[in-house]
Chains A and B, each alone.
Chain A
Amino acid sequence: MESIKYDLAKTPLREVNQFLHSDASVLNGKHIDIQNPNGAHNIAVGLKSEAKVNIHGHAGYYAAGMNQIADVTIEGSVGAGVAENMMSGRVHVKGFASNAAGATAQGGLLVIDGDAGLRCAISLKGADIVVGGSVGSFSAFMAQAGNLVVLGDAGEGLGDSIYEARLFVRGKVKSLGADCEVKTMGPEERKILVDLLSRSGHSDVSPESFTLYGSARTLYHFNVAKSGAY
């Protein structure tokens, strides 16, 4: 695979991102290495081709934001909003992720090897997220669709006001948010979990060790009797 190297200590971010927005004919099948990210924000945002991008170090906010098709790996930790509103493709964080990881993502797979901060998978709209460590409080807030798999623990208020997303948590959940409840994991959900574990490098982890959480659907319509829950 042809490799292209960029050094963010020498090349301005705008130039790197503009290259990463080149036509698919230029980028498809290319491997791009980005050195010295030094926590810069907005690295590799808005990609839309079959490029493979490796960021060698820590990235700031919105790394691989709004990703489409591309495969982006961050060999370090990331700031807030990694892969936010991702549409498709794959984003892999080898370190830790800050708040709002995978916010509003509609498709594709986000893999975080370490922990994720507050509000992971907030307003999730169809993407898959696998967190090797734990997630912070208020994760999957108003999550609409998609799957969140957490190998560690979850903080307070998991899945508050959740719609149709599925939350698989292996460890302890400090507390569930409004309208989020334990669900029975049927064969369909188990299959989704097994597939996600396999695609995120956790094939050795038993799906039976997870609990499934989802929406009790009691807040789908305004209801005076439920006013205390809002």
Chain B
Amino acid sequence: MADTPNKIPQTEPHQSWTFDKLTNSQIRRAAATGIYDIRGGGAKRKVPHFDDLLFLGASVSRYPLEGYREKCGTDVVLGTRFAKKPIHLKTPVTIAGMSFGALSAPAKEALGRGAGAVGTSTTTGDGGMTPEERGQSKILVYQYLPSRYGMNPDDLRKADAIEVVIGQGAKPGGGGMLLGQKISARVAKMRCLPEGIDQRSSCRHPDWTGPDDLEIKIAEIREITDWEKPIYVKIGATRPYFDVALAVKAGADVVVLDGMQGGTAATQEVFIEHVGIPILAAIRPAVQALQDLGMHRKVQLIVSGGIRNGADVAKAMALGADAVAIGTAALIAMGDNDPALEAEYNKLGTTAGAYDDWHEGRDPAGITTQDPELMKRFDPVKGGQRLANYLTVMTMEAQVIARACGKSHLHNLEPEDLVALTIEASAMAKVPLAGTNWIPGMDKF
């Protein structure tokens, strides 16, 4: 007998997987404004990542090193190919390029303090080198960008290394963007632009196109700096095998490879989430290119994009990287997106951990802003100390794993130390699916 009409059992409301709440809110936002969404940060979607890899550790067939007792080296030398003065770092965790403009001057200072305290490098960004940053950074990498904002040969000479930026993981093929709220008088002067305008940075270098030109451009920078400084080439992860091979051919000392999880100060959401590949998928082809050219460990590889802890560092290095770079993680260590500021994030219509409107310059943590009042909230000494602590923890965590794998240096970690938890990660990282000897796409390993 049928139930009475008012007692018919209802199914649970079924939210569409395709038209989920986030998607629907994006459609409504686009319909209301007529302009695409701009935000900071890297890809937020779930992609195969280092979490999908595990270390095997030592047992009967491998011999571990004693934790805290036996030496496990972490130092790295970058720029051994051509530079007269290579860079010596005590930890392979470096600070990625982030601009003065995107970040406040005190935040840049804190990056320099934190990196300097643990013997690693920090990197300028689009907009040039500030005295605060140079003063507080023991080892400073100067980015040479398509926009050439604030590009000054005196700063090239003051740098410890020079990074020719071709692209970044969040937006390979795209230029920078800094909206008017952050083009303060000082930022405008450094970039030679009218104050308060929405600034677009070029996506291509103005005076060269293609790998043959790049070779001449690198030679020019070497000539200007008398062949002293390591020259890095930074690429967004897209076609890593070919891009790394061409960077090496063009004369790079170091290649920086940035995956889609790597952050940007601001670009279109659609760009961040749909262009470029995860760092996990990019490392092995990049290392393969170096090996095919006989240049692995001669041209150093720095990888970035979603590095969060010592396990990520160890995994990246086991796959063949010489060092890593962190950006977003460094900002979080310094206090970005801290739940202690939840009430203020709520006022901005977001929540701690999800705040990504860095381009609007209203960061309650005082980091991604040019607002003098907000900047005052951030203490560069304390921020630098927090970053130094975090970098130390990451380095020690990587050592814990390396010792467990019987390695006396982080650089001795190797793909054979790893297995994958998923078929996707196995195929991308070219390490076997855990408990099997199977790597998709390879006959044997």
Task: State in angstroms the CA–CA spacing of A106 and B149 once bound together.
Answer: 10
Binary CB contact string for chain A from 63 to 79 against chain B (1 if under 8 A, 0 otherwise): 00110100000000000
A164 adjacent to chain B (CB < 8 Å): yes
Residues in B167-198 with C-beta less than 8 Å from chain A? 179-180, 191-194, 197-198
The answer, among B148, B194, B224, for a CB contact under 8 Å with A220, is B194
Minimum C-beta distance from B420 to chain A (A): 43
Determine if B220 and A80 form an interchain contact, defined as CB atoms under 8 angstroms apart.
Answer: no
A80 contact set on B, CB distance < 8 A: 207-208, 213
- The reply to whether B216 and A61 contact each other, CB–CB distance below 8 Å, is yes
A126-B192, A163-B193, A164-B194 given; A68·B153 CB < 8 A: yes
A123 touches B225 (CB 8 A): no
Residue B206, interface by CB 8 Å:
yes
CB distance from A83 to the nearest CB of B (A): 10
Tell me whether B223 and A85 are in contact (CB under 8 A): no
A45 to B226, Cβ gap below 8 A? no
In this assembly, does A221 line the interface, its C-beta being within 8 Å of a C-beta of chain B?
yes
Report if B332 contacts A (CB, 8 A).
no
Give which listed residue, B151, B180, B197, B219, contacts A42 with CB less than 8 A: B219
Chain B residues, Cβ within 8 Å of A122? 206-207
In the complex, whether A103 has a CB less than 8 A from a CB of chain B is yes
**A81 interfacial by beta-carbon distance below 8 Å:** yes
B192 and A62 within 8 A (CB): no
Nearest-CB residue, chain B, relative to A82: B207
A46 vs B207: C-alpha distance when bound (angstroms): 16
Interface members, chain B 5-42 (any A CB < 8 Å)? 33-35
Residues of A within 8 A of B226 (CB): 17-18, 21
Chain A 198-211 interface mask (CB, 8 Å, partner B; 1/0): 00000000000000
Residues of chain B lying within 8 A (CB to CB) of residue A48: 153
Pair B148/A123 contact, Cβ less than 8 Å: yes
Residue interface mask A131-143, B partner, CB < 8 A = 1: 0000000000110
| Cβ-neighbour of A14 out of B154, B197, B223 (below 8 A) | B223
**CB neighbours of B213 from chain A (8 A):** 61, 80
Q: How far is the CB of A197 from chain B (nearest CB, A)?
A: 24
In this assembly, does B291 line the interface, its C-beta being within 8 Å of a C-beta of chain A? Answer: no
Q: In the complex, A99→B220 CA distance in Å?
A: 16
B202 interface residue (CB < 8 Å to A): yes
Q: Return the contact of A224 from the options B35, B197, B208, B225 (Cβ within 8 A).
A: B35
A221 with B208: CB separation less than 8 A:
no
B152 at the A interface (CB under 8 A): yes
Nearest neighbor of B224 in chain A, beta-carbon distance: A46
**Closest CB in chain A relative to B212 CB, distance in Å:** 10
Distance between B121 CB and nearest chain A CB, rounded to angstroms: 23
Asked whether A145 is an interface residue with its Cβ less than 8 Å from the other chain, the reply is yes
CB of B197 within 8 A of CB of A65, answer no
Contact B220 A61, beta carbon cutoff 8 Å: yes
- Complex Cα spacing A42 to B225, Å: 12
Q: Which residues of B have CB within 8 Å of A144?
A: 191-193
